[in-house]
Amino acid sequence: MPATRPLELDTLPEGLLDVSADRLHTLLPRPTLIHLPGRQDKPLFVSVLLHGNETTGLEAVQQVLRKYATRPLPRALSIFFGNIEAARHGHRRLEGQPDFNRVWPGTRHEPCTETALMAFVTETMARRRAFASVDIHNNTGLNPHYACVNRLEPQFLQLASLFGRLVIYFTHPKGTQAAALAAVCPAVTLECGKPGHRRGAEHASEFLEACLHLTEIPDHPVASEAIDLYHTVAQITVREDCAFGFDNSARDLRLGNDLDHLNFTDLAAGTTLGTLGNGLRRLPIQAFDETGRDVANDYFAIRDGQLVLKKNVMPSMLTLDEQIIRQDCLGYLMERITPEWSNARNARAHMSSAAPQKHGG
Ligand SMILES: [Zn+2]
């Protein structure tokens, strides 16, 4: 029976700096929260391995910790090691486990040991007055590195812009770490490309290092030309009763085997995404908007036995991994947005702060 509380430690176990994700269970037998002191008290909170096969977060944390092995951290650091059991087997999650990034406070999942576990971690980091929160992930398709935010507030976007200019705003699915921690402190999710690529871990560790050195997170708006901001408008899934695949053996839906090359490209209405099996009349996929409503008919149509786009969109996280498609989703649809910079400026004008503005707009 999994425990509703993590193992909590205030030192690094011997060997942690070099252990691989599939051997982590030999040091930490269950989900673990480690609190390390630093020159500044409020901790940076980092979660890794919420998805067991996404190993870049562990490697990034190890790189940072190695650097500070013999000197104090610039800021306290709390690290949550999530689905260690799935990491042992190289899976996102194990059969019978919920998704560890869908069970945080705000989740629609029924109460279970994992929802209690994540609630405990969130409360602990609130009590410790976390400075900022970073949740590190990989994806399986071909994607650039980007940061995600669940709030369009200046501090969230400032934090995201430290990772790169590509930022995605989403509020669905529910129960993510970043959405829960957003109630505590500025929070971002990092998407670092495919697991196992050295640049992903380097990029994430550089970001963590930058966060550790911040004395405060600027609360003025990010210059609008400094980031490319997109809003996730729908999560695409394949219907459970639909037999899909990427070759001719797929009975109901054969998806293009270079589908992930479409990520972060502008797609025109009429673009073909797959071929339908004989006689399939209804859409083989669903597309859930922010409220959880299926809006597939707004975006997709069947034309001459093909699954085609009905309007111009930009997809992200389209994957060729059939297990990920079943366990999570096929990908997302996005639209570009410009936040209300002027409103933020007006709000600032009412404050008495005379801090120098680094605004480039
Ligand atoms: Zn993930």
Question: What's the 268 CA to ligand 1 centre distance in angstroms?
Answer: 28
Of 226, 260, 288, at which residue does a domain stop?
Answer: 226
Are 218 and 327 in a shared domain? no
Of 226, 253, 269, at which residue does a domain stop?
Answer: 226
Are 252 and 189 in a shared domain? no
Question: What's the 24 CA to ligand 1 centre distance in angstroms?
Answer: 18
Residue 108 pLDDT = 94
Residue 3 pLDDT = 82
Are 200 and 249 in a shared domain? no
Are 133 and 262 in a shared domain? no
Mean pLDDT by 10 residues, the chain (361 residues): 88 97 98 98 98 98 97 98 98 96 97 98 98 95 92 96 95 94 98 95 98 96 90 94 90 92 93 88 92 94 94 92 91 84 45 36 32
Of 174, 194, 226, at which residue does a domain stop?
Answer: 226
Domain count, the chain: 2
Question: What's the 271 CA to ligand 1 centre distance in angstroms?
Answer: 28
Tell me, yes or no, whether 298 lies in a domain: yes
Tell me, yes or no, whether 305 lies in a domain: yes
Question: What's the 341 CA to ligand 1 centre distance in angstroms?
Answer: 30
The encoded tokens of residue 53 equal 């096969």
Question: What's the 50 CA to ligand 1 centre distance in angstroms?
Answer: 7
Question: What's the 247 CA to ligand 1 centre distance in angstroms?
Answer: 26
Are 221 and 266 in a shared domain? no
Are 168 and 308 in a shared domain? no
Residue 359 pLDDT = 35
Question: What's the 204 CA to ligand 1 centre distance in angstroms?
Answer: 14
Q: What is the CATH number of the domain that holds 64?
A: 3.40.630.10
Question: What's the 1 CA to ligand 1 centre distance in angstroms?
Answer: 24
Question: What's the 139 CA to ligand 1 centre distance in angstroms?
Answer: 6
Question: What's the 163 CA to ligand 1 centre distance in angstroms?
Answer: 17
Question: What's the 18 CA to ligand 1 centre distance in angstroms?
Answer: 22
Going from the C-alpha of 330 to that of each of 143, 263, 284, 302, the distances in angstroms are 13, 11, 12, 18
Question: What's the 309 CA to ligand 1 centre distance in angstroms?
Answer: 26
Residue 57 pLDDT = 98
Question: What's the 138 CA to ligand 1 centre distance in angstroms?
Answer: 5
Are 155 and 203 in a shared domain? yes
Question: What's the 54 CA to ligand 1 centre distance in angstroms?
Answer: 6
Residue 210 pLDDT = 98
Question: What's the 353 CA to ligand 1 centre distance in angstroms?
Answer: 39
Tell me, yes or no, whether 20 lies in a domain: yes
Are 44 and 148 in a shared domain? yes
Tell me, yes or no, whether 110 lies in a domain: yes
- pTM recorded for the entire structure: 0.85
Are 149 and 271 in a shared domain? no
Are 131 and 240 in a shared domain? no
Question: What's the 51 CA to ligand 1 centre distance in angstroms?
Answer: 5
Tell me, yes or no, whether 354 lies in a domain: no
Question: What's the 137 CA to ligand 1 centre distance in angstroms?
Answer: 4
The encoded tokens of residue 166 equal 């590509």
Tell me, yes or no, whether 352 lies in a domain: no
Question: What's the 281 CA to ligand 1 centre distance in angstroms?
Answer: 33
Give the up-direction half-sphere exposure of residue 135: CA atoms within 13 A in the CB hemisphere: 23
Tell me, yes or no, whether 175 lies in a domain: yes
Question: What's the 136 CA to ligand 1 centre distance in angstroms?
Answer: 8
Question: What's the 12 CA to ligand 1 centre distance in angstroms?
Answer: 24
Question: What's the 35 CA to ligand 1 centre distance in angstroms?
Answer: 23
Residue 343 pLDDT = 45
Question: What's the 351 CA to ligand 1 centre distance in angstroms?
Answer: 39
Question: What's the 84 CA to ligand 1 centre distance in angstroms?
Answer: 14
Are 66 and 175 in a shared domain? yes
Tell me, yes or no, whether 344 lies in a domain: no
Residue 346 pLDDT = 41
State the residue range of the domain holding 287.
Answer: 234-336
Are 67 and 198 in a shared domain? yes
